[in-house]
Amino acid sequence: MYILMKAARLYGKTDIGIDDEVDPGSVGPTDVRIDVEACGICGSDLHEYREPEFTPEHEHPRTGASRPVIIGHEFSGTVSELGKDVSRFIVGDHVAVHPNIPCHDCVYCADGEYNHCDNSLGIGFETDSGGFAESAVVPEQQVHALPDGVELWEGALVEPLAVGLHAVRRSGMQAGDSVAVFGCGPIGLTAVQAARRAGAKEIFASEPNDSRRGIARQLGADVALDPFADDVVETITDATEGGVDAAFEFAGIGPAFNSAIRSTRRGGSITVGSISKDEITTDVDELVLNERTVTGTFCYGFPPSSFRTEFDAIIEAIADGHIETDTFVTDRIPLENIVEDGYDALLDPDTEHVKILVEP
């Protein structure tokens, strides 16, 4: 393929270029080219924009990529070119991309724990391809087929939705349990939905942003509280006679972490999925004397295990109409407007957005 393409590339701190003449890359024997339909802007994209950390400044030792790199990792599209050894796809297939490539060579990969891989590579960060582009070249093993019941754009939501499902699985939450979710940004909202689907009896959401509280209710929260106006711990412990069975923390700040602990019943679990470098102070007795368990959760299963676990489970749930996808998407924008209508809109502290889809 010799035609150059349009792509959004990260050059450095708060510097994204919309470039018209980008090399679309060549398809290796086990790669597929995907004409991108939609790519979501993720919290990790915003982090990388403000403080570049994963996109390589100098040539990446394994991929050769260096800034400017094509960004975007939550994407779906149509297969348009196949490597000679690709067997699972044909041109025209609708697909979603799993953006984390495990190495198959470390102790974790040897144990089948691909999501704990020591050397995984992120598409849209460390490779030469990403979803904020007209097309992307990715290894066949990263590609999940979308069945007829899934709209092509919905494929871009599989990745964030899988994060919420993984969090609920990590928590050990059971059908009939009461649940509280602290922080209802995009990922907290996927946890609300996943907990609802997993049979939560009652879901409390705590979120300062008014419109996100409204969306939490639409996606399955029974009670949505404002941590700056309501006594969240008291409200939850009163309503549940001592606290919820499972709390989730996606806010990444001390007060939310501690409220999550104190809103949980004795013997309950607190699952933490916020990404934060902040040190948080907590009252250890709250954990010890109440036998509460704190668990970390990150991403989801990686391929090849993702084909039997979270990614395909989400794809089937969307196909069966069990997941509300429209409510989750608050805007769709062309690639040209990715900075003003995408990144800047999401970084506004009063944002009314949840997931913005870029349509290259």
Confirm if 31 and 140 have CB atoms less than 8 A apart: yes
Say which residues have a Cβ less than 8 Å from residue 241's Cβ, sequence separation at least 6.
none
Q: Does 22 bind Zn ion (CB under 5 A)?
A: no
Number of residues that this document lists for the chain = 360
Amino acid (1-letter code) at residue 27 = V
Give the Cα separation of 82 and 140 in Å (integer): 9
Minimum distance of Zn ion from residue 307's CB (angstroms): 17
Minimum distance of Zn ion from residue 42's CB (angstroms): 3
CB-nearer residue toward Zn ion: 52 or 227: 52
Q: Does 70 bind Zn ion (CB under 5 A)?
A: no
- CA-nearest of 327, 352, 328, 332 to 342 is 332
Q: Does 96 bind Zn ion (CB under 5 A)?
A: no
| Structure-derived torsion over alpha carbons of residues 298, 315, 305, 74, reported in degrees to the nearest 10 | -50
- CA-nearest of 168, 178, 155 to 273 is 168
Q: Which stretch binds Zn ion (CB under 5 A): 98-106, 174-182, 198-206, 239-247?
A: 98-106
Q: Is 15 helix (H, G, I), strand (E, B) or coil?
A: strand
Minimum distance of Zn ion from residue 328's CB (angstroms): 13
Residue 340: exposure state from Cβ atoms within 10 A (0-12, 13-18, ≥19) = exposed
Contacts with Zn ion: how many residues (CB under 5 A)? 6
Say which residues have a Cβ less than 8 Å from residue 89's Cβ, sequence separation at least 6.
32, 79, 82, 95, 140, 143, 145
Among 10, 32, 39, 42, binds Zn ion (CB under 5 A): 42
CB-nearer residue toward Zn ion: 82 or 97: 97
Which residue's CB comes closest to Zn ion?
A: 42
CB-nearer residue toward Zn ion: 40 or 227: 40
Pattern 193-222, Zn ion, x by CB under 5 A: ------------------------------
CB-nearer residue toward Zn ion: 68 or 131: 131
Q: Does 46 bind Zn ion (CB under 5 A)?
A: no
Q: Encoding tokens for residue 291?
A: 């036998």
Minimum distance of Zn ion from residue 90's CB (angstroms): 28
CB-nearer residue toward Zn ion: 157 or 180: 157
CB-nearer residue toward Zn ion: 100 or 206: 100
Among 27, 96, 117, 356, binds Zn ion (CB under 5 A): 117
- Residues near Zn ion (CB under 5 A) are 42, 102-103, 106, 109, 117
